[in-house]
Amino acid sequence: MTQHPSDDLSDDLGAQPGRAWHHSGLWFLLVGGAAALTHLGVFIGLEHTTRLWPEVANAVGFVVAFGVSFIGHRRLSFSDARTDLWQSLRRFGATALAGFACNEGVLMLLHRLLDWPALPSLVVALIVAAAQTFVLGRFWAFRR
């Protein structure tokens, strides 16, 4: 198993479960924030430069942000994972796709059915999907 640069820190935190959750949750917020900003940036860029439907721009933003999210969560949020890289990638891919399905559903509900503007709809969708992604990431994709 390849060691992560933060393995020494996570081993120390593993002895104190409360601190481990705090450490993991803080990194999750930071990495998730970076991925969400990436997602939003791609979405806004496509909204202003193309005639793509918001749902398609959302999908492109998701694909770009996936790399930021996986690398950051593997190295930082869940650095004490006991799964190998490929198992984590497969699981996180499934987790991310479930999060994207949730995200796309919320976006469509708010934008198409409730007639919200696309950008606020996406922001709410990203928040809802982030909660789901944390739970699946913590307890399945990067299981300790």
Q: Where are the domains of the chain?
A: 7-141
d(CA 78, CA 14): 11
**pLDDT tens-digit series, residues 79-90:** 877 888 899 899
108 contacts 135 by C-beta, under 8 angstroms: no
In 3D space, the residue among 50, 40, 30, 29 whose CA is nearest the CA of residue 107 turns out to be: 40
Name the residue type at position 37.
L
In the numeric block, the tokens 């999907």 are attached to: 129
d(CA 21, CA 103): 25
- More confident of the two residues 105 and 6: 105
**pLDDT tens-digit series, residues 3-20:** 544 444 444 444 455 555
In 3D space, the residue among 66, 64, 67, 47 whose CA is nearest the CA of residue 111 turns out to be: 47
pLDDT at residue 126, rounded to an integer: 93
Q: What is the pTM of this model?
A: 0.76
